[in-house]
């Protein structure tokens, strides 16, 4: 393998959950640019189709899977559909997650049990279910594997009115390290990325009526700009590549320097 080839994903098969929009779509597209065949899994059939078509337009192989990865049976189906198409899986990106949005937050004392459970399910439970299915397959196939989880800067900083989100992301950061320790003997690497403020159509919409909050956030970032889905995608590609072959258990912060102001 040439020096530059270790940074690519040629001949690799990657699953990206939540790969139909926002950060997830950015990851899926960057993985395709790096040479991977990409399985885009999400609940919105139309948006999954759009992402898959964009990847195919690059000349890469791609597979559409409509799935709710908070449900074990749908995770199992995702794995089986991927195997039917590609025979193997090398990389899992657990990107599914999120919150109800700035306007959908709940102060701690007002948060319902359903609100709490919903946030933990979509962020933390989905990561657990998908990782377990992927790891079982990798061990059965006796091949090395790579998992990249989606944490957040809120794993270490207070996230007011959405306590469950910070708790879930802190859980993902801890789970990442725990899996790395337990799975190293199987040659399975597990890492995470922790983005801060990333510009997506969803986040733009959330702040459209609150420009003062958006401007205050922008001023707090040392690099002077919000991140992009491509910024996150390129870090994920690196972590999934052979260039990161001795990195496991790490959580890479993608914040434009914001972390160091805490």
How do residues 105-116 score in pLDDT, each as one tens digit?
788 898 889 989
pLDDT (0 to 100) of residue 5 = 92
pLDDT (0 to 100) of residue 141 = 95
pLDDT (0 to 100) of residue 102 = 46
Cβ 17 vs Cβ 42: under 8 Å? yes
pLDDT (0 to 100) of residue 233 = 98
Q: Find the domain containing 140 and state its range.
A: 5-261
Strand order in the sheet with 13-17: 62-66, 37-42, 13-17, 91-94, 145-150, 188-195, 251-254
Catalytic choice (7, 165, 207, 246): 165
Domain with residue 209: its CATH number is 3.40.50.720
Total number of domains in the chain? 1
What CA–CA distance (Å, rounded) separates 41 from 24?
10
What CA–CA distance (Å, rounded) separates 27 from 32?
9
165 is catalytic: yes
pLDDT (0 to 100) of residue 217 = 83
Can you list the residues of the chain whose pLDDT is less than 70?
Answer: 1-2, 100-104, 202, 204-206, 260-262
pTM of the predicted model, to two decimals? 0.94
Question: What is the residue-averaged pLDDT of the chain?
Answer: 92
């Amino acid at each position: 393998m040439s020096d530059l080839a270790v940074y690519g994903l040629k001949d690799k098969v990657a699953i990206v959950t939540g790969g139909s929009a926002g950060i997830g779509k950015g990851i899926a597209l960057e993985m395709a640019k790096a040479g991977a065949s990409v399985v885009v899994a999400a609940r919105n059939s139309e948006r999954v189709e759009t992402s898959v078509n964009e990847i195919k337009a690059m000349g890469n192989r791609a597979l559409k899977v409509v799935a709710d990865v908070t449900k074990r049976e749908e995770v199992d189906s995702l794995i089986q559909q991927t195997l039917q198409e590609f025979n193997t899986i090398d990389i899992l990106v657990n990107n599914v997650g999120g919150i109800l949005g700035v306007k959908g937050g709940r102060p701690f004392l007002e948060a319902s049990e359903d609100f709490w459970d919903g946030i933990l399910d979509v962020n933390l439970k989905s990561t657990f279910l998908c990782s377990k299915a992927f790891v079982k397959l990798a061990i059965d196939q006796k091949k090395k594997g790579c998992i990249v989880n989606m944490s957040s800067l809120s794993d270490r900083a207070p996230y007011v009115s959405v306590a469950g989100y910070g708790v879930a992301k802190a859980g993902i950061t801890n789970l990442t390290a725990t899996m790395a320790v337990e799975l190293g003997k199987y040659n399975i690497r597990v890492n995470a990325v922790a983005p801060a403020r990333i510009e997506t159509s969803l986040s733009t919409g959330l702040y459209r009526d609150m420009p003062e909050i958006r401007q205050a956030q922008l001023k707090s970032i040392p690099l002077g700009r919000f991140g992009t889905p491509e910024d996150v995608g390129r870090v994920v590609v690196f972590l999934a590549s052979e260039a990161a072959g001795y990195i496991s258990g790490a959580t890479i912060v993608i914040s434009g320097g914001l972390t160091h102001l805490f």
